[in-house]
Structure 1
Amino acid sequence: MKTKKTLTTSAGAPLSSNQHSQTVGEKGPVMLQDYKLLEKLAHQNRERIPERVVHAKGWGAHGTFTVTHDISKYTRAKLFDTVGKKTEVISRFSTVAGELGAADAERDVRGFSLKFYTEEGNWDLVGNNTPVFFIRDGYKFPDFIRTQKRHPRTNMRSATAMWDFWSQVPESLHQVTILMSDRGIPQSPMNMNGYGSHTFSFWNKDGERFWVKFHFKNQQGHKHFTNEEAEQLIGKTRESYQEALYGAIENGNFPKWTLKIQVMPEADAEKVPYNPFDLTKVWPHADYPLIEVGELELNRNADNYFSEIELAAYSPSNVVPGIGFSPDKVLQARIFSYADAHRYRIGTHYEALPINRPKSEVNHYHKDGSMRFFDNNEGNPNAYYEPNSFNGPVEDKSVEEPPMKVSGDINRYEFKDNIDDYTQPGNLFRMFDEGQRNRLFSNIAAAMDGVPREIIERQLVHFDKADPAYGAGVRKALGI
């Protein structure tokens, strides 16, 4: 005979019928028919997109570019055609090597990217806070970046990998010298310059081409951390750049940069004693002085970091009439790789997202693919190929870029061994005062901690060739 069990409370009193029904209900299952639960969980599983392979950790804001000087004799680009003209901008600054969770105040090169929403479409200037880079050939870029990322066995950064690469790629010395100097850890995005770094080109209404370099000079003053100051700051916060940039704009202290350019007549490229398209070289200011163009001001924080900064997709391939490219081998590689990275990271139609979409009219023949959420070509269902007979958009030939004159063998740089990699780094070293040199030596010695002796000796040869005092100072700091 079965005995009926009476449910009781924790105090032993019998449960009321209402309490009994509540207890039974609480013990019941969650069903797959609870579509609200499933949708919420499924969405959370997909909230993240792949982080950038390079420049993953970034900070940015909205702003305005204002023309202050007339440069219409060099370029027909309409954003520069009138003094006082304003163009909306979205900016993104970043470290190179660190992941999304990395500390802001690391010794690293900083990315400096700007998207100009011009009346002719978007112009993206995607550069760094340095006028040069570690390599002059895009073929070396994946290998260089691997030396900056985590070692496959230890899953930690490898000083050995970095110096092993640099010591066998002497063209890196110019950038290494900048990175290990006082300039290696800017205190904030507002306290660093920005550079297009590459050589680009301007072309005017008369079809004349000029080679050009872009310089954004900060108006807040250059301020940098020492290794010790940066380590102390990282111990307190890993978000120091985000805090500084966001806080300054929220408080109305809008950071500003002055845009200046160097302009080289097209024919001069064959005359100068260096390759003006070599990303490891600068143009002497005495030969090609800075010409002021305008002012960049950042004056509005993003309302949603993900949709306005993380989804912002910059590519050197985004130019407007009057701005063009050059034979710079790394630039040519980036024209492909950046847009391709965005197609992988964000999606086929990443340029249709609100933050990337031009504010001017856009017509194109992109078709189908994932996230095809827009209607192009004014809904004309027959205008999905070109040329067509159904009033589809056509290219404006009146703004066609003039032919680019190119000479030289089709080849990669590494097959040549007669390039001077030491004069410009040596000149930079000789510009430093005694204190700056001593900090450079100390920073290099600290960065070489644990690196095998044979790699150190190989790198020291490059320092010697730039300037004997450079090599001697590093040896003293290393105690060898």
Structure 2
Amino acid sequence: MLALLIIFAVSVMAMQEDQWDPVKNHMLEFKENTDGPIGMLTSSGGAPIPYCEATNSLNNRLINNEFFMDAITHVNRERIPERVVHAKGTGAFGYFEVTHDISNICKADFLNDVGKKTPIAVRFSTTQGSRGSSDLNREVKGFSIKFYTEEGNLDLIGFNTPMYTFKDPIRFPNFVHATGRNPGTFLFDRSTFWDVITLNPESMFLFLRVFSDYGIPASYVNMPGFPIHTFQVVNKNREIHFVRFHILPDAGIKNLMSAEARNISSFDPDYVSRNLYQQIGKGEFPSWTVSVQILSKADVKRMGYKAFEVSRVIPTKDFPLHPIGKIVLDKNFNNFHAQIEQLAFCPSNLVPGILGGPDIMYESRRFAYRDAQSYRLGGNFKKIPVNCPFQTNTYTINRDGVGPVGSNEEDVPSYYPNSFNGPEPNSESHCSSLIKIYEEKAYNFDQAAEFYANELTSDEKTRLIENLVFELQPAVKMIQEKTIKLLTTIHPDLGNRVAKQMNLS
């Protein structure tokens, strides 16, 4: 088996050598596209750097060498705080094109003209681990889109799973800590991982999917995206509807088996990020179909809290997908830090016609993402070019702070109301507001059982069992038994097969 995996790895590398590679040839391309040096080397202040300073610092006062002082003081400050979750990621740019008019349910301008294109930025990411972790870990992946619309930026922040781990936001810090590194050993601890899952049993639905064949995308090009919330939308007649977004890859959903992923990760932990950059660099632009499930007020009244339950799915057999557009990625970033690491998503970035979700998890994310971006990038993070709503003019009362500040709103009055022709609010008299809902405790065992019993083939069930056993073995026996009890509650066959393979039956 090991010999076959080695042969596979060598053959993959050989194929990469035989083909033109936009990653491998990036610097060579830059050289070929420039006619000699692009300009004179300068300090950050713009002063020319003399050859003697750039090539030698020996036997001279360092403080007088501006090239050295400029570089050494900056390199100490190059790293910004990484994201607590979704630290490692990549991204690209492209456009969203409307294919179907849904103005009858949503008045958002960027959706209402078939053929209209809106610039977008997309970030794909892992969940656990640092910026140096592998793309190929078995986990939930992130899939987020920033639409630069003419009415401001819209951010849809999602995952490659159609459901979320839990519905109560108070559980978030606990999951981050329990599934991260043990503070004592600073190693990942499978006992705490499975403990937090069994203590929050609704999370098992998501993890059954993660430990199934869906758990490791073969590439970001083959990965779906789900913004998970049920969004409230309104049309020009002030009529309310609700939608769930589905973003499905036109190349099809494809995933890797565990052995494949471990093997590839051993020689190329950046495999999935590299693949996306290569495909776009070669002109093989990936695309996704964006669809929505549409619910009326009557549907929501009938379904109750389940319509907004982020740890459940809304069955497509009851609410079919309605295509609304295409996402195409046709441009790679040209500086990772400026365009991807500083790319900041916020659920509070909404546009007229899309009000967000009325659930408490959405409210929590509106605060948490804003706070995270302010911490990582500073209070003016929305003025960083990649985050600017460049399709529209912005007039705020916000001033000053750590840069970038842009024009800092120039000399426009910095308060409202004022008597000096400062910016005025939208004159629309009607203010749309989210409906109020009552949320019960999460329950999704019925859907988890349905997933195991009816959505997986016999072979897929076998691999799910193998993956669960592999991940459970490092946990202490007490936690293993708790997990098996939970699995048995969801479906007796599932729990019994895991117990049998672990000799705990």
Deviation at 1:92, TM superposition (A): 0.3
Deviation at 1:118, TM superposition (A): 0.4
Determine if the alignment matches structure 1 residue 479 to structure 2 residue 503: yes
Matched residue type, 1:458? K
Q: Distance in 2 between the 1:158 and 1:27 partners?
A: 49
Aligned equivalent of 1:21: none
Matched residue type, 1:403? S
Deviates more, 1:279-288 or 1:28-37: 28-37
Aligned equivalent of 1:390: 420
Alignment of structure 1 residues 255-270 onto 2, 5 Å:
255-270=286-301
Aligned equivalent of 1:369: 401
Q: Distance in 2 between the 1:79 and 1:70 partners?
A: 10
Determine if the alignment matches structure 1 residue 353 to structure 2 residue 377: no
Deviates more, 1:183-192 or 1:326-335: 326-335
Aligned equivalent of 1:159: 190
Matched residue of 2:166: which SS?
Answer: coil
Q: Distance in 2 between the 1:285 and 1:28 partners?
A: 73
Matched residue of 2:443: which SS?
Answer: coil
Q: Distance in 2 between the 1:107 and 1:400 partners?
A: 47
Gap change, CA 1:232 and 1:186, over 3 Å in 2: same
CA-to-partner distance for each residue in 1:282-322, whole Å, 9 max, x for gaps? 11112211111000011110111111111100111100001
CA contact (8 A) 2:358 2:435 kept: no
Matched residue type, 2:416? E
Q: Distance in 1 between the 2:215 and 2:124 partners?
A: 15
- Which residue of the other structure, out of 455, 464, 468, is the alignment partner of 2:492? 468
Deviation at 1:61, TM superposition (A): 0.4
Q: Distance in 1 between the 2:197 and 2:354 partners?
A: 33
Aligned equivalent of 1:440: 464
Deviation at 1:105, TM superposition (A): 0.6
Q: Distance in 2 between the 1:85 and 1:194 partners?
A: 22
Deviation at 1:93, TM superposition (A): 0.3
Matched residue type, 1:428? F
Determine if the alignment matches structure 1 residue 300 to structure 2 residue 323: no
TM-score for the superposition, normalised by structure 1: 0.90
Q: Distance in 1 between the 2:500 and 2:105 partners?
A: 49
CA contact (8 A) 1:211 1:263 kept: yes
CA-to-partner distance for each residue in 1:196-234, whole Å, 9 max, x for gaps? 111111111111111111000111122211111111001
Aligned equivalent of 2:79: 48
CA contact (8 A) 1:321 1:399 kept: no
Alignment of structure 1 residues 136-147 onto 2, 5 Å:
136-147=167-178
CA contact (8 A) 1:208 1:402 kept: no
Aligned equivalent of 1:132: 163
Aligned equivalent of 1:20: none
Matched residue type, 1:405? I
Matched residue type, 1:230? A
Percent sequence identity is 35
Q: Structure 1: which 4+ aligned runs deviate by more than 6 Å?
A: none
Alignment of structure 1 residues 76-155 onto 2, 5 Å:
76-155=107-186
CA contact (8 A) 2:62 2:69 kept: no
Structure (1 or 2) with the larger CA radius of gyration: 1
Determine if the alignment matches structure 1 residue 276 to structure 2 residue 297: no
Aligned equivalent of 1:458: 482
CA contact (8 A) 2:142 2:159 kept: yes
Matched residue type, 1:463? L
Aligned equivalent of 1:172: 203
Aligned equivalent of 1:227: 258
Matched residue type, 1:363? Y
Deviates more, 1:242-251 or 1:141-150: 141-150
TM-score for the superposition, normalised by structure 2: 0.86
Gap change, CA 1:402 and 1:231, over 3 Å in 2: same
Deviation at 1:236, TM superposition (A): 0.9
- Which residue of the other structure, out of 317, 322, 329, is the alignment partner of 1:291? 322
Deviation at 1:399, TM superposition (A): 8.2
Gap change, CA 1:230 and 1:195, over 3 Å in 2: same
Deviation at 1:476, TM superposition (A): 2.6
Aligned equivalent of 1:423: 446
CA contact (8 A) 2:87 2:131 kept: yes
Q: Distance in 2 between the 1:182 and 1:151 partners?
A: 28
Q: Distance in 2 between the 1:405 and 1:134 partners?
A: 24
Q: Distance in 2 between the 1:26 and 1:217 partners?
A: 56
CA contact (8 A) 2:399 2:408 kept: no
Determine if the alignment matches structure 1 residue 217 to structure 2 residue 217: no
CA contact (8 A) 2:305 2:437 kept: no
Matched residue type, 2:490? A
Matched residue of 2:361: which SS?
Answer: helix
Deviation at 1:42, TM superposition (A): 0.4
Matched residue of 2:307: which SS?
Answer: coil
- Which residue of the other structure, out of 80, 96, 104, is the alignment partner of 1:65? 96
CA-to-partner distance for each residue in 1:178-197, whole Å, 9 max, x for gaps? 11100000111011100111
Matched residue of 2:92: which SS?
Answer: strand
Matched residue of 1:275: which SS?
Answer: helix
Gap change, CA 1:296 and 1:461, over 3 Å in 2: same
In structure 2, the gaps of 5 or more residues are: 1-55
CA contact (8 A) 2:125 2:143 kept: yes
Aligned equivalent of 1:3: none
Q: Distance in 1 between the 2:344 and 2:57 partners?
A: 48
Q: Give aligned pairs, total.
A: 447
Q: Distance in 1 between the 2:236 and 2:149 partners?
A: 18
Aligned equivalent of 1:185: 216
Deviation at 1:35, TM superposition (A): 3.1
CA contact (8 A) 1:62 1:300 kept: yes
Deviates more, 1:200-209 or 1:312-321: 200-209
Matched residue type, 1:438? T
